A and B are shown apart, each in its own frame.
Chain A
């Protein structure tokens, strides 16, 4: 998707329901060998993303001209069904004409 001209941002919003530290972010990235922009909230406030974007396993496709959410993708939290990332990637590629 990055090659197609999109941007991917993985936000580690919580670690075991609490605010993640930098070490948590590093562990998460390394365990999944995540190759895209990966971030966490700054310390103050530490849960701003989860407050704004509701919960984990939600993906948001954003039109960067207007900053409007084009689509909100609800991925599986039970392991059954597709993840938000899988669904989101397919939808983004379509938007990018690929």
Chain B
């Protein structure tokens, strides 16, 4: 029995030597793939070098055409205008934000607000009304 145990140890050691001594080379059942020797560059080149690298200049498919509802990274550049078809200017204000329209607006906090905030609201359209008080 002892000789059998020694034999098994020697067999395992030999197996490890064939794999470069790396236990990680063994698969789940403990068998090593002896067809490929790690570090043996005389053998055929690694598969990843034989295949042409993907074109890094081409954007990944998911970035090529962003979804319609995605908010653009920044406010559109000018020139800005006030006619139909023009980009409205990135105006900044202060006042009472009341997007839920659930109370008289002076009951809301007095805060900074802007067309940029409107843009990022996630809504589809805004109605901006210019008013005057006499």
Footprint of B on A, CB under 8 Å? 1-3, 5-17, 20, 22, 24-30, 33-42, 48-50, 52-72, 84-85, 88-89, 92, 95-96
B45-59 interface code vs A (CB 8 A; 1 in, 0 out): 000000000000000
Asked if B126 CB lies within 8 Å of chain A CBs, one says: yes
B103-124 interface code vs A (CB 8 A; 1 in, 0 out): 1111000101101001101011
**A92 contacts B125, CB within 8 Å?**
yes
Given A35-B104, A36-B101, A72-B83, answer yes or no on A50-B130 (Cβ-Cβ < 8 Å).
yes
**Please, how many angstroms separate the alpha-carbon atoms of A92 and B75 in the complex?**
22
- In the complex, the chain B residue whose C-beta lies closest to that of A11 is B130
Footprint of A on B, CB under 8 Å? 68-69, 72, 75-76, 80-89, 91-106, 110, 112-113, 115, 118-119, 121, 123-134
Given A67-B88, A96-B125, answer yes or no on A52-B98 (Cβ-Cβ < 8 Å).
no
**Please, how many angstroms separate the alpha-carbon atoms of A95 and B89 in the complex?**
22
A57 / chain B contacts, CB cutoff of 8 Å: 130-132
A39 → chain B closest CB, angstroms: 3
The 6 closest A-B pairs by CB, nearest first: A39-B95, A39-B93, A56-B132, A2-B101, A7-B126, A52-B89
